[in-house]
């Protein structure tokens, strides 16, 4: 393993254990940073130790205890208290509990604002630097640094517990954790690949830590299946719709991995929103697509979430099996007037029905509502095609 890979794998784990041991985010982060810096200096020269995790933990722990001892000695000088003699013995490997779960539940506690939950999760578990997180979310580094400082301060001041929630809270708290991972994935979906990769990495860690939770596997499956089409979604920087994608550019390994996760979720009798979305994504990766089954799954998802956006997706699937007219009837009942995909969906269905003028108006509405360059260029191409067929009726 390279030094970089070890860092990637071990940062969250070392930090989590240190926070559990020290009970202090800042002290733990400083100590971990020092240990990783020493490793970055020594390992390329002397080689990676046989047990890199134990090395990093012990070094970080020693740094932290040195620091505490220095602080205590300083206090003792002023007669406040006498420095204790703890932390001399090296930690045994068996005494390193994996506390990443405690850490992620703390980072995603509902008493923190969602953007703070996201930042803290990426910083502590993901090991991204403040600068990297700031760039990924398009905010100045100073803003992100303040957000992290404030979040860590609140964890301490408000008494947010460092623990896996008890059973009666686990469900809702796990929902919050999954929502954070999903949000990171969604931010990455529009082309910021490093965030999508980070979300999948977090999803993998969660599925190892909570192997009996179907929604955890469902979320990971959904992310893997969507991500498998990343290469095909754009061609020369232009958006390509699912039906027009070059399937040889789909990542078959990732599709298989996604389906394996979905199977685990189904074996656990999962039927929650993430499992349903993963099942839909899996069907999308089949040729030909089973649109009737997809429509049925979206129907179930609407029942669970009550979301009009899900209903819009169902309309698209229904249009494939029962014709654009039936799909359009569903779309026209949805109160999503400011949602660009409502208008682009309407436009597409109207185009197929040969109602060219209405289609054009709908495309223009959609174009006005988007700030994404690739989407806008896609709509422009559709409008040009419509202009070419003006005068003809039927599709």
Partner 1 sequence: MKYIMLIYQGAALERQAALPEEEQKQVYADYQGINQTPGVTPGLPMGLPENATTVRVEGGKTLTTDGPFVGMKEAVGGLFILEADDLDAAIEVAARVPAARYGGAVEIRPSEVYW
Would you tell me how many other CB atoms lie within 10 Å of the CB of residue 317? 25
In whole angstroms, the minimum distance from the beta carbon of 157 to partner 1 comes to 5
Alpha carbon dihedral 180, 183, 189, 194, in 10-degree steps, equals -40
List, in sequence order, the alpha helices (H) in the chain. Answer: 3-22, 25-46, 52-77, 100-107, 114-124, 130-136, 141-157, 167-189, 193-209, 214-227, 230-233, 252-267, 273-284, 291-305, 308-322, 324-331, 340-352, 356-369, 373-388
Please give the Cα distance from 110 to 294 (Å, whole number): 33
Query: Of the ranges 157-165, 177-185, 322-330, 338-346, which one interacts with partner 1 (CB under 8 A)?
Result: 157-165
Binding mask 159-178 for partner 1 (x = CB under 8 A): xxx---x---x---------
CB of 144 to partner 1, least distance (A): 24
As a whole number of Å, the CA-based R_g of the chain is: 25
The region of 95-103, 138-146, 153-161, 369-377 touching partner 1 under the rule CB under 8 A is 153-161
Stretch that binds partner 1, among 152-160, 241-249, 334-342, 382-390 (CB under 8 A): 152-160
- Here the tokens at position 363 are 């495309």
Nearer to partner 1, 80 or 157 (CB): 157
Q: Is 158 in the site for partner 1 (CB under 8 A)?
A: yes
Minimum separation from the CB atom of position 137 to partner 1 (A):
26
E strand or H helix at 238, and its extent?
strand 238-239
Nearer to partner 1, 1 or 111 (CB): 111
At residue 251, what are phi and psi to the nearest 5 degrees?
Answer: -85, 100
* Distance in Å, CB of 254 to partner 1, minimum: 37
- In the complex, least distance from residue 72 CB atom to partner 1, rounded to whole angstroms: 20
**Structure tokens that stand for 258 in this block:** 């996604």
Contact present, 369 and 338 (Cβ < 8 Å): yes
Secondary structure class of 103 (helix, strand, coil): helix
Stretch that binds partner 1, among 71-79, 156-164, 235-243, 266-274 (CB under 8 A): 156-164
| 3-state SS assignment for residue 329 | helix
In which residue are the tokens 């409502």 written? 342
Number of residues interacting with partner 1: please give it, by CB under 8 A. 9
Minimum CB separation of residue 110 from partner 1 in Å reads 9
Which C-beta is closer to partner 1: that of 160 or that of 334? Answer: 160
HSE-up of 252 (CA within 13 Å, CB side)? 3
Cβ nearer to partner 1, comparing 81 with 287? 81
The 78-117 contact track toward partner 1, x by CB under 8 A, reads -------------------------------x-x------
Q: Interaction with partner 1 in 315-374: which residues (CB under 8 A)?
A: none
3-state SS, residue 95:
helix
Segment 279 to 308, residues that bind partner 1, using CB under 8 A: none
Least distance from partner 1 to the Cβ atom of residue 97, Å? 19
Nearest approach, Cβ of 159 to partner 1 (angstroms)?
4
Q: Give the nearest distance from C-beta 176 to partner 1 in angstroms.
A: 13
Using CB under 8 A, which of the segments 155-163, 178-186, 236-244, 299-307 binds partner 1? 155-163
CB-wise, 117 or 277, nearer to partner 1? Answer: 117
Check: CB of residue 103 under 8 Å from CB of residue 125.
yes
Q: How far apart are CA 334 and CA 330, in angstroms?
A: 7
Q: For residue 357, which phi and psi values (nearest 5 degrees)?
A: -60, -45
Cis preceding linkage at 393, omega within 30? no
Least separation in angstroms between CB 161 and partner 1: 4
Contacts of partner 1 in 17-76 (CB under 8 A): none
Between 165 and 218, whose beta carbon lies closer to partner 1? 165
Contacts of 133 (CB under 8 A, 6+ apart): 119, 122, 123, 144
| C-beta of 109 vs 340, nearer to partner 1 | 109
Pairing of strands 238-239, 234-235: antiparallel
Q: Closer to partner 1 at the Cβ: 55 or 105?
A: 105
Overall size of the chain counted in residues: 395
- Cα gap 248→377, rounded to integer Å: 24
Q: Which residues bind partner 1 (CB under 8 A)?
A: 109, 111, 157-161, 165, 169
């Amino acid at each position: 393993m390279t030094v970089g890979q070890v860092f990637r794998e071990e940062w969250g784990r070392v930090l989590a254990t240190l926070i559990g041991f020290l009970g202090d985010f800042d002290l733990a982060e400083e100590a971990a940073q020092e240990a990783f810096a020493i490793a970055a200096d020594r390992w390329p020269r002397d080689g990676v130790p046989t047990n890199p995790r134990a090395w990093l933990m012990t070094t970080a722990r020693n740094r932290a205890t040195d620091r505490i001892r220095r602080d205590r000695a300083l206090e003792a000088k002023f007669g406040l208290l006498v420095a204790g003699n703890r932390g001399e013995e090296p930690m045994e490997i068996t005494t390193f509990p994996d506390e990443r779960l405690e850490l992620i539940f703390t980072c995603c506690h509902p008493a923190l604002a969602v953007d703070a939950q996201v930042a803290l999760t990426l910083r502590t578990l993901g090991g991204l630097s403040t600068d990297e997180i700031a760039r990924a979310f398009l905010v100045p580094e100073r803003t992100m640094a303040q957000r992290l400082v404030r979040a860590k301060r609140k964890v301490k001041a408000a008494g947010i517990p460092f623990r896996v929630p008890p059973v009666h809270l686990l469900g809702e708290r796990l929902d919050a954790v999954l929502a954070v991972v999903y949000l990171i994935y969604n931010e990455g979906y529009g082309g910021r690949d490093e965030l999508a990769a980070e979300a999948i990495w977090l999803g993998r860690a969660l599925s190892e830590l909570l192997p009996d939770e179907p929604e955890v596997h469902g979320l990971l499956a959904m992310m893997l299946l969507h991500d498998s089409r990343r290469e095909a979604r754009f061609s020369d920087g232009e958006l390509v719709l699912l039906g027009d994608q070059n399937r040889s550019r789909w990542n078959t390994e990732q599709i298989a991995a996604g389906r394996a996760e979905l199977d685990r979720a189904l074996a656990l009798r999962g039927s929650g929103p993430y499992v349903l979305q993963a099942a839909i994504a899996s069907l999308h990766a089949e040729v030909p697509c089973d649109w009737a089954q997809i429509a049925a799954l979206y129907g179930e998802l609407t029942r669970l979430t009550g979301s009009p956006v899900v209903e819009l997706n169902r309309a698209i699937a229904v249009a494939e099996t029962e014709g654009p007219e039936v799909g359009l009837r569903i779309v026209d009942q949805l109160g999503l007037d400011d949602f660009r995909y409502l208008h682009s969906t309407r436009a597409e269905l109207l185009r197929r029905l040969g109602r060219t003028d209405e289609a054009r108006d709908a495309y223009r509405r959609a174009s006005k509502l988007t700030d994404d360059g690739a989407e806008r260029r896609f709509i422009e191409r559709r409008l040009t095609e419509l202009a070419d067929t003006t005068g003809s009726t039927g599709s």
